[in-house]
Amino acid sequence: MGLMTAWMLRRQGWQVTVYDQAEAFAGSSWAGGGIISPVPPWSYPLPVRQLVAASLRQYPELVAELHGSSGIDPELIRAGLLYLGPFDDAGEDWRSRNAAQLQVGRLNDWLPGAADLPAWQFTNVAQVRNPRLGQALLQAAIRQGVVVHQHSPVRRIHLQAGQVTGLELRSGELQPCRHTVLAAGAWSDIILRNSGLAGLGIKPLRGQMLLWQAPPGCLTHMVTGHGKYLIPRRDGHILGGSTVEDVGFDNATTAAALDEIQHACRQMFPLLKELTLVRQWSGLRPAIAGDIPVIGPMPDTQGLWLNTGHYRNGLGMAPASCELLVSLMTGTKCPLRHEPYAMPEAQPQARPAA
């Protein structure tokens, strides 16, 4: 969110500097799978689905531009997604109203070697290879003139009479500025409260992932069911995930999660038993009550803008989220309404989503 917002603002002529507490794009944006869809869509509120739909329309042109600018291909693939349930009443109702977007069959109808299980195929679902998207976005932003400071964590935002005046880094250095975009993901509330402001109710929820080495074409579709998923990459690698763990800011990996993910993914795609597991990692999602991100101005604070709380769908919502925020900051038109993403009056603690 931070890099993409910075890139879009720079293209509008703004002078933009990014401060990242670690390496740019090394947080949950790097750790996730890159599915451009809420899964399943009926389990998420309309504002989330609207952001994802708008972003999906933008991604082809966005990826082409980033590829051309950076020389790095983010590997946008519209391979579709096979969904294995649960097939509850909400899902059946969604299917009846969106019949053109899915087909009904068996998993091994579309994926030879997979389990013989009932499945729905969502045809209008794409993925992006998020680490490559991050590399391309970082290079494109720098070439556009964005200044990026990595390993430069922000401690707090300085305010005077309700107006942003600067950022205080953890090093003690003060950087003057007139506008600040807070896009710190799971760490957003820490910065707000350090600055004497109300939090948004954002909390970290850990998700662990696995990676298998496979020949290209081994897995031809994304597959998801009962809280787990498999995602094929163009070079053949297969991602498997994910857990949802309320463990604070602990991003360690665990043997229990490895067993849990492997067991579920092998049930969907038994050929995984023959593949080599090459890596396990984790990320901290910015969970927020209601699952709707906060995008727009901080109330009663001039120059402070929010683009955070995207939880499990950050990659899927990013282009539209950043376009909406930039439109508010610059006064340009945007087809999306801002009101659903305004900061809520109350900030209850975020709940783990199913």
CATH number (domain holding residue 213): 3.30.9.10
Domain count, the chain: 2
- 315/127 Cα distance (integer angstroms): 9
| Together in a domain, 143 and 241 | no
- What pLDDT does 352 receive? 41
pLDDT tier at 206, thresholds 50, 70, 90: very high
The percentage of residues in the chain with a pLDDT greater than 90, rounded to a whole number, is: 90
The better pLDDT of the pair 100, 65 is held by 65
| Together in a domain, 212 and 117 | yes
Element holding 169 (H helix, E strand) = strand 163-169
The whole-number average pLDDT for the span 55-60 is: 96
DSSP code at position 339: G
| Together in a domain, 120 and 142 | no
- 102/151 Cα distance (integer angstroms): 44
| Together in a domain, 233 and 351 | no
User: Residue 75's closest CA among 83, 84, 87, 67?
Assistant: 67
Tokens at residue 323, please?
């376009």
| Together in a domain, 135 and 277 | no
DSSP code at position 100: G
pLDDT of residue 322 exceeding 70, the answer is: yes
| Together in a domain, 336 and 269 | no
- 70/228 Cα distance (integer angstroms): 33
- 328/341 Cα distance (integer angstroms): 12
pLDDT of residue 353 exceeding 50, the answer is: no
| Together in a domain, 281 and 305 | no
- 344/337 Cα distance (integer angstroms): 15
Last residue of a domain, one of 287, 322, 337: 287
User: Domain range spanning residue 227?
Assistant: 81-124+204-287
| Together in a domain, 213 and 271 | yes
- What pLDDT does 174 receive? 95
Residues in the chain: 354
The whole-number average pLDDT for the span 160-164 is: 95
- What pLDDT does 343 receive? 86
pLDDT of residue 90 exceeding 50, the answer is: yes
User: Residue 235's closest CA among 218, 259, 252, 260?
Assistant: 218
> What's the longest Cα–Cα distance across the chain?
64
| Together in a domain, 245 and 275 | yes
Are 212 and 237 in contact by the 8 Å Cβ rule? The answer is: yes
CA angle 313, 294, 151 (to 5 degrees): 75
Taking the alpha carbons at both ends of the chain, their separation in whole angstroms is 24
pLDDT of residue 347 exceeding 90, the answer is: no
Are 211 and 239 in contact by the 8 Å Cβ rule? The answer is: yes
- What pLDDT does 348 receive? 41
Q: What is the pLDDT of residues 33-52, one digit of tens each?
A: 999 999 999 999 999 999 99
| Together in a domain, 196 and 140 | yes
Q: What is the pLDDT of residues 256-310, one digit of tens each?
A: 999 999 999 999 999 999 999 999 999 999 999 999 999 999 999 999 999 999 9
pLDDT of residue 126 exceeding 60, the answer is: yes
Are 245 and 206 in contact by the 8 Å Cβ rule? The answer is: yes
- Collapse the DSSP code of 185 into the 3-class scheme (helix H, G, I; strand E, B; otherwise coil) and give the result: helix
| Together in a domain, 133 and 280 | no
Last residue of a domain, one of 287, 303, 324: 287
Arithmetic mean of pLDDT over the chain: 94
Last residue of a domain, one of 265, 287, 309: 287
| Together in a domain, 306 and 213 | no
- What pLDDT does 203 receive? 96
Q: What is the pLDDT of residues 19-32, one digit of tens each?
A: 999 999 889 999 99
Tokens at residue 147, please?
């200044």
Element holding 132 (H helix, E strand) = helix 130-144
The whole-number average pLDDT for the span 150-167 is: 96
User: Distances from the Cα of 165 to the Cαs of 161, 162, 173, 182, in angstroms?
Assistant: 10, 9, 13, 14
The better pLDDT of the pair 20, 100 is held by 20
- 137/143 Cα distance (integer angstroms): 10
What would you report as the CA-atom Rg of the chain, rounded to the nearest whole angstrom? 20
3-state secondary structure 223-237: EEECCEEEEECCCCC
The residues with which 169 forms a beta bridge, in sequence order, are 154
